[in-house]
């Protein structure tokens, strides 16, 4: 399969370049960037030097991309812009995996509420597949468009959704706190992301309605079979002084008897055959340092009899399991490759 990355100059796009170059079953045929047009990829991404990457960044038109020989397009573009590429590519018979937020929601109204603009292609919202292989069946027959989940939602949906479905936790009173590395804010030269602003500093942002909250609540409602009744939770994202990674702690009230083994048994039943979900032994806590550079998500659960709550913990690399690696995982599933192909 011949692939193309559109918008390969950002952090997620760069990870995709590196991962796809190493993938044994696909060819990376093109990488695009308006700002880096004409420059050699290995000159702009120095860690690729010596890997015989002959590619240069290009800036073709949408028409040229649609008429070209690439079969699958990864869109590492901002929301709003991604749809401008996705729709004509899909109309041309191409397959698309979108890493932006443009097709993650089912509701155009919710998209406008949280993203501050009308949805550019609402006719595709119900047709896109949500690209979380641990929780959804994926295939190109179901949809040629996969909406790759956000980094924060991935860290919350994997540990929490099945516990809502199985009525192990209550739907009311859930609180999720997440810490993200600075790369989650994108590759922008803004004052708040300067080294002197972020080093030795941590703080909340995007409260009380971070954009990813819309995706988290909608997916929890769908996965727990409560839709259209909404699952509502408090979500508190923080920027931490690290380059990459997400650490999430979820406090969820128990439904019935508080029993840690019920959670572990439920997770094992769903995730034992999933190669990238790792359940930690009792007493251990997920740590971003242990998952950096991998497509793995580490989970743990702790019962708190004093409050009658479960404390669910997860850690992932926001640029791999939270972005490029998960997109490749979805591609592998849809192509019939081994799910772990090209990933670790």
Of the residues 151, 247, 313, 334, only one is catalytic, namely: 151
Active site residue 247: no
User: Residues 244, 183: contact at Cβ < 8 Å?
Assistant: yes
Task: Identify whether the C-beta of residue 236 lies closer than 8 Å to the C-beta of residue 207.
Answer: yes
Q: Is the C-alpha dihedral spanning 220, 293, 340, 75 positive or negative?
A: positive
Non-local (6+) Cβ contacts of 82 within 8 A are 75, 98, 99, 100, 102, 103
Here the tokens at position 284 are: 């251990």
d(CA 292, CA 329): 17
Task: With beta carbons less than 8 A apart as the criterion, state whether 29 and 341 touch.
Answer: no
Q: Tell me the C-alpha distance between 281 and 58, whole Å.
A: 48
Q: Which residue has the tokens 């979380």?
A: 132
The whole-angstrom distance between residue 72's C-alpha and the CA centroid of its chain comes to 18
CA dist., res. 213 & res. 153, Å (int): 8
Which strands form 129-130's sheet, in the order they lie side by side? 57-58, 27-32, 2-6, 72-75, 95-98, 145-147, 129-130
Burial of residue 222, with CB atoms counted within 10 A of its CB: 0-12 exposed, 13-18 middle, 19 or more buried = middle
Cβ(312)–Cβ(333) below 8 Å? no
Range 99-114 burial, b when 16+ CB lie within 10 A, else e: bbbbbbbbbbebbeeb
List, edge to edge, every strand of the sheet that includes 297-304. 203-204, 234-239, 175-180, 246-253, 309-316, 297-304, 277-279
Residues tagged active-site: 151
């Amino acid at each position: 399969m011949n692939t193309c990355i559109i918008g390969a100059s950002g952090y997620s796009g760069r990870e995709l370049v590196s991962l796809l170059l190493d993938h044994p079953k696909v060819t990376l045929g093109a990488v695009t960037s308006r700002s880096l047009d004409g420059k050699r990829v290995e000159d702009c991404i120095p860690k690729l030097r010596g890997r015989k990457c002959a590619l240069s960044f290009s800036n073709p038109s949408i028409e040229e991309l649609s008429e070209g020989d690439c079969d699958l397009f990864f869109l590492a573009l901002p929301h709003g812009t991604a749809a401008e590429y996705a729709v004509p590519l899909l109309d041309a018979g191409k397959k698309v995996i979108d890493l932006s937020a443009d097709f993650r929601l089912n509701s155009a109204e919710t998209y406008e509420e949280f993203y501050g603009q009308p949805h550019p292609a609402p006719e595709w919202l119900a047709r896109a597949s949500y690209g979380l292989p641990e929780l959804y069946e994926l295939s190109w027959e179901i949809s040629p468009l996969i909406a790759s989940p956000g980094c924060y939602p991935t860290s919350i949906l994997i540990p929490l959704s099945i516990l809502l479905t199985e009525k192990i936790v209550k739907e009311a009173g859930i609180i999720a706190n997440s810490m993200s590395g600075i790369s989650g804010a994108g590759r922008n030269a803004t004052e708040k992301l300067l080294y002197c602003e972020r080093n030795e500093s941590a703080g909340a942002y995007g409260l009380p309605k971070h954009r990813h909250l819309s995706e988290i609540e909608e997916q929890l409602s769908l996965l727990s079979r409560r839709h259209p009744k909404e699952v509502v939770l408090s979500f508190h994202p923080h920027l931490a002084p690290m380059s990459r990674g997400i650490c999430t702690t979820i406090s969820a009230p128990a439904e019935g008897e508080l029993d840690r083994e019920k959670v572990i048994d439920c997770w094992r039943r769903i995730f034992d055959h999933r190669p990238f979900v790792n359940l930690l032994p009792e007493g251990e806590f997920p740590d971003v340092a242990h998952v950096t550079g991998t497509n793995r998500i580490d989970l743990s659960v702790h019962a708190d009899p004093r409050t009658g709550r479960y404390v669910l913990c997860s850690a992932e690399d926001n640029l791999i399991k939270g972005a490029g690696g998960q997109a490749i995982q979805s591609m592998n599933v849809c192509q019939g490759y081994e799910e772990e192909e090209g990933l670790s």
